[in-house]
């Protein structure tokens, strides 16, 4: 597949969501800019890390730009679900955050996962230019959607299937 190098500037909407039953869910990052919709495959852990990273990013922004206007951190769940068609361009390997003070836009940079035999300079990259509110909504919704998975075993910290699981803390006995 040819390298993708794309700026969605600005995005009208950005979100992350999951499709499937807990334990079998597939996670996606999706953004809309005008008539263009871009969808990427992403790991649950990457969404969780992004949510944490966005909070730290905002703290850092406020240290450098203390006069930035505040915004509401509430999001509308019905707006945060991904929209079909869901045809991902690539699987995300890494994410980065930047800030453009002139436009007051946060830039979420998604890099394709490096494939076997692929050179780093051939990795696709998409830059999503978001308002700080859009980025906060993405992070807050990402935290919410990732928490809706399987219950966590209180003994070993691993996800449990609805029928339980073989817990290493119970020497392999079902919990």
pLDDT score of 136 more than 80 = yes
Q: Residue 18 sits in which domain range?
A: 5-170
Total tally of structural domains belonging to the chain: 1
Predicted confidence at residue 94, as pLDDT, reads 96
Q: Is the pLDDT of residue 75 over 90?
A: no
- Residue 77 and residue 166: Cα distance in Å, rounded? 35
CA distances from 116 to 5, 42, 90, 91 (A): 20, 18, 14, 14
Answer whether residue 119 shows pLDDT above 90: no
Provide the CATH number for the domain around residue 96.
Answer: 3.30.2450
Question: Which residue is listed with tokens 């980025």?
Answer: 135
| Residue 156 banded pLDDT, cuts 50, 70, 90 | confident
140 inside domain: yes
Q: Would you say residue 175 lies in a domain? A: no
Q: Dump pLDDT digits (tens) for 6-64.
A: 999 999 999 999 999 888 899 999 999 999 999 999 999 999 999 999 999 999 999 99
Q: How confident is the model at residue 70 (pLDDT cuts 50, 70, 90)?
A: confident
What is the predicted pLDDT for the residue at 157? Answer: 67
């Amino acid at each position: 597949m040819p390298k993708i190098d794309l700026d969605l500037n600005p995005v009208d909407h950005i979100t992350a969501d999951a499709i499937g039953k807990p334990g079998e869910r597939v996670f996606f990052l999706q953004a809309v800019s005008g008539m263009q919709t871009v969808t990427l495959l992403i790991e649950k852990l990457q969404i969780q890390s992004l949510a944490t990273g966005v909070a730290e990013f905002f703290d850092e922004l406020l240290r450098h730009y203390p006069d930035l206007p505040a915004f509401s951190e509430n999001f509308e769940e019905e707006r945060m679900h991904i929209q079909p068609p869901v045809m991902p361009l690539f699987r995300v390997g890494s994410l980065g955050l930047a800030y453009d003070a002139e436009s007051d836009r946060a830039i979420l940079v998604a890099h394709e996962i490096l494939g076997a035999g692929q050179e780093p300079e051939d990795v696709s990259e998409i830059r999503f230019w978001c308002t700080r509110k859009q980025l906060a909504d993405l992070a807050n919704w990402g935290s919410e959607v990732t928490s809706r998975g399987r219950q966590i075993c209180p003994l070993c910290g691993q996800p449990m299937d609805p029928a339980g699981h073989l817990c290493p803390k119970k020497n392999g006995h079902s919990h």
